[in-house]
Structure 1
Amino acid sequence: MSRMISRPVSRVKAAIPVPSNLLLVFSINIHASMAKLVLVYSLVVLGLALTCNAATYTVGDSSGWDISTDLGTWAENNKFVVGDRLSFQYSSSHSLEEVKKEDFDSCNTTNVIRTFTNGNTTVPLTEPGTRYFVCGNQLHCLGGMKLQVNVADNQAKSPIGAPKAQPGVTITQPSSKRNNPASVIPTSAGSVYEGRDCIVMAFLGFVATLFWLVQV
């Protein structure tokens, strides 16, 4: 008698159909995530643009914060906006005091807003308006060692307002202008051009992200 050999029956698994509404929801979620990514990146680029556009101005350029510097002419030759910084370099015979307008006009050094004496002071310009600085030595202030800075909104920044110095040039400050050892300090013009390069890099990154999203 022949023996019957049973063979396993192969079973074909049918693909489970995915509801079209589920695919629609999934597609909407993906596009929403992409939209959020683009929005966040746009805000980041905007923040970088505003930050990179800021410049650091060495007060008095190579002469520094000194009684021999024509500070009034220096201030007139530069345009300051919110986000910029003022770098004061001075010797131990000087100091830096921020005062109100009436004390600025009379060189009153007894009623000051804040005082700096470290010889290397950086003052951020955080809001529009006018700020006043004098030397703590009243005789120096009366001799012209005082500075009035008019700060405009950041949106008012333009290439026309860039300083006259050559871009990318660095100036080694003499040690007599401050207590610290001499170091290389970038000019304000160099800072402006560095800010433009930073904005360009941020824009290229934004374009690259958009290209990646289109490919996806």
Structure 2
Amino acid sequence: MAKQLLVGVLAIFGLTLTCKATVYTVGDNSGWDISTDLDTWTMDKRFVVGDMLMFQFSSYHSVSEVTKQSYEGCNTTNVLQSSSNGNTSFPLTAPGDRYFVCGNKLHCLGGMKLHVHVEENQGALSPATAASAPESGATLPTSPSTKSDNPSAVVPSSAVLVHGGISVVSLVLGFVGFVASTMCWLV
């Protein structure tokens, strides 16, 4: 029973962490275009590690990730990564500032450039926590590591309360899963 409960709690915890990621379509319905006011578009958004920027644009444009200096001068010759396929996503994998420009320098000078500040995801596991978390496929102990001197304190796994064919553990895990999924929609 403890093993089932631990696996269930870890699964629900993992789901709540992944539900916080957001995919932002840059420029919303206007897309990555010279007519889009990208500075205004970013004003009401909070970008965190785990989110993704999706650029949608016509064949007249491209998107390049650049350094701050290249962003400020609309320098499109020294890019970190670039795409011209019209549907490009950039995952936000680390906190800090990210800079994007259109590959057409005149479009960039006309305002077709984007600066986003990426914050640390407060719901994500820290490196220390992640190191201590069980890896996928890891086996959990099937019995306590120490023996109990008091046999009456040990509850056999077959003593799970079952009502109508459904175990209480299943009901609790189902309820916790429902609450976790509801919280995802509220965030």
Q: Which residue of 2 aligns with 1:155?
A: 122
Q: Which residue of 1 aligns with 2:7?
A: 40
SS at structure 2 position matched to 1:155: coil
Question: Is the contact made by 2:74 and 2:109 (CA closer than 8 Å) also made in structure 1?
Answer: yes
Give the 5 Å matches for 1:175-186: none
Return the offset for 1:130: 1.1
Whichever residue aligns with residue 79 of structure 1, its letter is R
Question: Is the contact made by 1:130 and 1:148 (CA closer than 8 Å) also made in structure 2?
Answer: yes
Identity of aligned residues (%): 60
**Rg larger in structure:** 1
Whichever residue aligns with residue 78 of structure 1, its letter is K
2: CA distance, partners of 1:203 / 1:117: 45
Structure 2, unmatched stretches of 5+, are 125-172, 180-187
Give the 5 Å matches for 1:31-110: 34-110=1-77
Matched, 1:204 2:175: yes
Whichever residue aligns with residue 175 of structure 2, its letter is L
Question: Is the contact made by 2:17 and 2:123 (CA closer than 8 Å) also made in structure 1?
Answer: no
2: CA distance, partners of 1:150 / 1:80: 7
TM-score where L is the length of structure 2: 0.65
1: CA distance, partners of 2:91 / 2:55: 11
Can you list the C-alpha shifts for 1:6-49, whole angstroms capped at 9, x where unaligned? xxxxxxxxxxxxxxxxxxxxxxxxxxxx2232222222111111
Cα–Cα, structure 1 residues 203 and 122, in superposed 2: closer, same or farther, change >3 Å? farther
SS at structure 2 position matched to 1:94: coil
SS at structure 1 position matched to 2:122: helix
Aligned pairs, how many? 131
1: CA distance, partners of 2:30 / 2:36: 6
Runs of 4+ more than 3 Å apart: 205-208
Return the offset for 1:139: 0.8
Return the offset for 1:64: 0.5
Cα–Cα, structure 1 residues 102 and 35, in superposed 2: closer, same or farther, change >3 Å? same
Question: Is the contact made by 1:45 and 1:203 (CA closer than 8 Å) also made in structure 2?
Answer: no
Whichever residue aligns with residue 204 of structure 1, its letter is F
Give the 5 Å matches for 1:117-136: 117-136=84-103
SS at structure 2 position matched to 1:151: strand
Return the offset for 1:206: 4.3
2: CA distance, partners of 1:70 / 1:83: 24
Whichever residue aligns with residue 21 of structure 2, its letter is A
Q: Single out whichever of 143-152 and 35-44 deviates more from structure 2.
A: 35-44
Whichever residue aligns with residue 112 of structure 2, its letter is M
Return the offset for 1:204: 2.8
SS at structure 2 position matched to 1:148: strand
